[in-house]
Structure formats: C-alpha cells, structure tokens
Amino acid sequence: MEMIVIYAIVAMTVAGIVLALVLYLVAQKFKVVEDPRIDQVAEKLPGANCGGCGFAGCRGLAEAIVKAGNLEGKACPVGGAPVMAQVAEVMGLQAEESDPMLAVVRCNGGKCNTHQKAAYDGAMDCVSANQNFASEGGCSFGCLGLGNCTKVCKFDAISINPETGLPEVDQDKCVGCGACAKACPRMVIELRKKGLKDRRVFVSCVNKEKGAAAKKNCDVACIGCGKCEKVCPFGAITITNNVSYIDFTKCKMCRKCVAECPTGAIHAVNFPPAKPKAEETPKAENTVETKVEEKGGNNENVQ
C-alpha cells in the first residue's frame, strides 16, 4: 500500500515537471516582446485616460506612437505641447507645435433667449430626448440642457448654468479632450483653438432652419443673412444650410462680423470692452473783427 502511494506521488511530480516544461516552451515560442519605449512613453503621459487622443487610454496612445515611429496625428490634449515634447525626446523625434484647443458651446438659446412652448417629461438624457423631442423652446438643433456633456467630463470643466439651462465651459480646467463634444447628440459643442490671450470669435448657433423659422424659436438665432460673410476681410466666414460658420484657422479676430450681426449670434470672448469714440472738437472759425470808428458831426471838405 505504501509503495502505491509513493508511485502516485512520483508520477504526479514527474507529470507536473513535464507539464511545466511544456508550458515554458510554449510561452517562449509564442511570447510577444514588447518595445521598452512603450513604458517610457506611457510614463511621460498624464495618465488621465480620457480618450481625447483618439486611443483607448494613455497606454493605447503610447503603443500607437511607438508602433508608428512618429507623432503625426497623435497628440495628448491633456498634457499639451510640454508633454508631447517629452514624448518626442524619448522617441528621438521632433515634436510638432500645436495650438491648445478648448470646448465651445455653440448655442445661446436656453431659458433666456427662447420662449417655452413645451415641457419635457422623460429620461434625463440628451440622446434619449433627441430622438423624440425638439426642445422646450421649439428649436430642434439647440442644446437640450440635460447634461450628457457634464457626465463625461473627467476634469469638471463643464457644468449646466441653472439660470440659462446651457452648458458653460471653465477655460482654466478644459483640456480640449473632446469628450463633451462626442457626447452631444446635436453637435452643439465644438473644439476650437483656444486663441491668443484666450480670445475667440464664433457663431453661437447651429440652427439650420431658414431665418424666419429660426428667429421664431430663438431671439438670438443665426438667420443666415450673409452680412457677416460680406464684411469679413479674411474670407473666414461661410454660410452653409442657412447658418454661418467662422473658420478659426482664418479668423484674425477683427470683430467686424460681431458688430454686423443683426441678432447677436456671433460672440467675441475675452476681448476688452471697446473704447468709446472720442468726440471731435469743432474747429474754431476765424473771425475778423472790424473796428468801425464813428466820427461825430458832418464831414466837410476843406478847400
């Protein structure tokens, strides 16, 4: 009986050794050698895993950079230029300069500039509401105000203003990851260049209805009148489907379009208040004083 137990133990031990050896050989044959630079690049990235780069987290971006061997079309919106410069150093590449981006809400209707025509009673979700509801003000293109954008922001950079019912972006917290823009079913939120001195000019409307219909639902809607397009000296404004759009790569922020817009749909952000025009001083008229000497009595000729 004891010998049977000993044989069983020996057999199990031998089988374990053989199986371990087989597993080791299989692992060695099929093992994937990972480029050590992936870990080095991943360490330089902020680890936010926001997906703003277009990859599944920071490690996904690191793997894509190392695999491609270049930085073309790859950037970390959270870390920005300083982080990408460090990544480029690891890869032995030249970092591409890129302008910081910022989320911009292109709707100014909300509670303050629209008149309530209906009340929404349903799931507090923009995607769900968008399927069967225009909006409380009647515009089927504007912000629904149900906060899908705020739910996906990992940086607490966007919130719903209770007075206006519209999202507001904190420019000091926004990293331009684009998560809020992807979450908006009506594409009201757009990533735009942050701008020199944080100054931006954009059309705060995406309504594609014709002027009269758009104005009926919102007091500050773009009516596609074309005045802004005509006055722009840089060809930065185009009108498509009855709504104006300002190309931030062409806009020089002269703000001529802002003054020309009849509905106030074009917004200029972070500009100093316009200086009042100095009143022209009327020129003094030159007056010639003529002194008249009056002589008393009759004038007589002396012979």
User: Which of 100, 55, 103 shows the shortest CA–CA distance to 78?
Assistant: 100
Rounded to two decimals, the pTM is 0.73
DSSP 240-267: ETTEEEE-TTT-----HHHHH-SS--EE
pLDDT tens for the chain, residues 1 to 303: 677 878 788 889 988 998 999 888 888 777 776 788 999 999 999 988 888 888 888 999 999 999 988 888 888 888 888 899 999 999 988 877 778 899 999 999 999 999 889 899 899 999 999 998 999 999 999 999 999 999 999 999 999 999 999 999 999 999 999 999 999 999 999 999 998 899 999 999 999 999 999 999 999 999 999 999 999 999 999 999 999 999 999 999 999 999 999 999 999 999 998 676 555 555 544 444 444 444 444 444 433
Inter-helix orientation angle 57-68/36-44, to 10°: 130
pLDDT, one tens digit per residue, over 87-146 is 999 998 887 777 889 999 999 999 999 988 989 989 999 999 999 899 999 999 999 999
Task: Please tell me what DSSP assigns to residue 274.
Answer: P
**pLDDT given for residue 50 in this prediction:** 85
**pLDDT given for residue 277 in this prediction:** 59
Chain-centre distance for alpha carbon 165: 19
Question: From CA 4, how far away is CA 11, in angstroms rounded?
Answer: 10
Other beta carbons within 10 angstroms of residue 76's beta carbon come to: 25
DSSP 149-183: HHHH-TTS-EEE-TTT-SEEE-TTT-----HHHHH
**pLDDT given for residue 283 in this prediction:** 52
